[in-house]
Amino acid sequence: MSWTERNLAVQGYCLTGEEAHRLRWALRLPNGLCLMLVLLGLALQSAVLLLALVPIGAVAGWTRRHPFDLIWNYGLRHLSGAPELPPNPTPRRHAFKLGTIWLLAIGLLFALGQPTAALILGAILLPVCGLVTLTNFCIPSTLLGIWSRRRGTAVPTQVPDTT
């Protein structure tokens, strides 16, 4: 299993190597779009833009589909003949929930006239979002997985048998 496949397994995906390869760009799309919008919101110090991302993150965290998955599933995938994105597994959705709370905090700090604190939180969020976008290594999913294993509540990730 490749490093990328292990990273996806930590997020809860049960993909074969071939499936992971065929979805390599699609799985990065929601995070990449959010990364660009967050970067823009921070650059503009826009509470409105950052707070507008909160409902998108909430939908991503509390449903099986990120709203940006629809851009892939109903649009972009048809240009390349790629498969549809699978529903987001629970560990990935938990990471979206943490990101949603983080975005809410940043947006509220800007709205309350605290740009320095907002930019500090944003400076932490950007590399975390960038890392998962570029490598599929999700720090929140990894930390939540460690926490769950220590508490004895982790659900074992099933990796498909490719033999």
pLDDT at 155: 57
Please list the ranges in the chain whose pLDDT falls under 70.
Answer: 154-163
Residue-wise pLDDT tens digits, 80-96: 888 999 999 999 999 99
pLDDT at 159: 42
Residue-wise pLDDT tens digits, 36-63: 999 999 999 999 999 999 999 999 999 9
State the virtual CA torsion across 20, 24, 27, 33 in degrees, nearest 10.
Answer: 170
Does the pTM of the predicted model rise above 0.75?
yes
Largest Cα span, the chain: 58
Helix (H, G, I), strand (E, B) or coil at 62: helix
pLDDT at 158: 47
The neighbour count for residue 100, using CB atoms within 10 Å, is 20
What separation, in Å, do the N-terminal and C-terminal C-alpha atoms of the chain show?
12
Exposed / middle / buried, residue 141 (Cβ in 10 Å: 0-12, 13-18, 19+): buried
pLDDT at 157: 52
